[in-house]
A and B are shown apart, each in its own frame.
Chain A
């Protein structure tokens, strides 16, 4: 796995408090009990810190899955393949 993809995964694992090998790619907001609004705030802060980016209102509300989070960080200029 590339370092930036790893960073995103780690941000999810830390914010949701799930096991390091959890299938975060399948998670959706409120789809699992660990991903509640409290965890979501922490996830947003974690992703911002990991990539040194500033997410806007639409990003915060729209980040409802791992795949969408990936799209959002790419839009903020992160090379997820790097």
Chain B
């Protein structure tokens, strides 16, 4: 059975949701009932996700009923949501959104929000297709990643092994469930017979930390921006001694922060894991062993069980059972089988060091052309960060110029920084423009929003 396990004790908690706790046995029963309802529905569903129990039951039921399901943010813009429905024509929908005129309510006790399509679309769905996820942090994109049940299950188990998740672990749903990293936190804990504590509060909310204290949360997952928040809040001052595991993915975390949190966890007998993944690989590809955070803080670690990493012309190529079947951009693509055969060209640049640890250095496509020369924007950012006074920076390509935004920089320091940066890059200073910015625009995930930055620079 995908993702559900038989823990040592079936009365062990699986979902902790406010005052109510569901055991693994109870969750299993709820999923069984919901799977029967979905079994009678058609072969493709949309699940509009919140961080709540209904979303989790709906997701697990779709897996159990072998009904392919696409996960989207329940807060997706209504126009984008309608376009997604029109593009993929799912047989059923679950979640808190109006489904549109083509659907009728068919809710029952197990799935109160179930809606069924009046006129089923006959375009076939490939038998191996289990889960569809959006690739980007931006909602409403029609480009989806096609994942098999085998990939989802394998990745959940491999993550549970690499992180040594024990049945007494309690992870917080600190990330959205429609996001591959958030979904992997749920999956890896359930397969390990452990529990998740459900919250939709952000790291900046006092309510989240009350939940952590009350339910003795042991594990928190966050993206790099989350770690900036955690550093600002100071985990030691939050009075949450139960938290002994921190995991990080979703982009590069500065080595200084890796060391900071690894040391903070070590002092309380815990572990910090930097990790690397993509939705295209279900979620996770590599994990940094916790003790290696001190010796290799700039690395994302070693491949999960069953995975392998190679470098081809600088690009990280991952092979493993968790690699997606391929992309989909419309309903017809859902009849496709395995396009990738387990090999994923990640589009990330990197190298493997002498100890076998993977380092991610940038994106293949992030290059600017300046006076006919290709300049890596990631390299520009890395070098611009070397300035002793440097805060966060972001580089974008302009017209024959690389524009570097320096967060919180004093304007009078910029000319000297520009000269040093140009010398390091071996380009003429006129190829660079350094601009002070109060705060870099960021996406909901806290990543630098290059699209908005580009629009502002234009």
Contact = CB atoms under 8 A, between A and B. Distances in A.
Report whether chain A binds chain B: yes
Interface of A: 14-15, 29-30, 36-38, 40-42, 44-46, 56-57, 60-62, 64
Q: Is the interface of A mostly helix, strand, loop or mixed?
A: helix
Nearest to A49: B408
Contact of A61 (B209, B228, B444): B209
Contacts of B439: 15, 42, 45
A19 B228 CA distance: 27
B318 to A, nearest CB: 30
B446 A44 contact: no
A60 B204 contact: yes
Contacts of A37: 202-204, 229, 446
B238 to A, nearest CB: 6
Interface string B246-276: 0000000000000000000000000000000
Contacts of B228: 41
26 contacts: A14-B438, A15-B439, A29-B204, A29-B205, A30-B205, A36-B202, A36-B444, A37-B203, A37-B204, A37-B229, A37-B446, A38-B225, A38-B442, A38-B446, A41-B228, A41-B232, A42-B439, A45-B408, A45-B439, A46-B438, A56-B237, A57-B234, A57-B237, A57-B238, A61-B204, A61-B209
B121 interface: no
B438 A41 contact: no
B233 interface: yes
A28 to B, nearest CB: 12
- Among A37, A42, A44, A46, residue most surrounded by chain B Cβ atoms (within 10 Å): A37
Given A41-B204, A46-B438, 6 more contacts: A29-B204, A42-B438, A57-B233, A57-B234, A61-B206, A62-B206
B146 to A, nearest CB: 31
Interface in B201-231: 202-206, 209, 225, 228-229
A57 B239 CA distance: 11
- Among A15, A29, A40, A57, residue most surrounded by chain B Cβ atoms (within 10 Å): A57
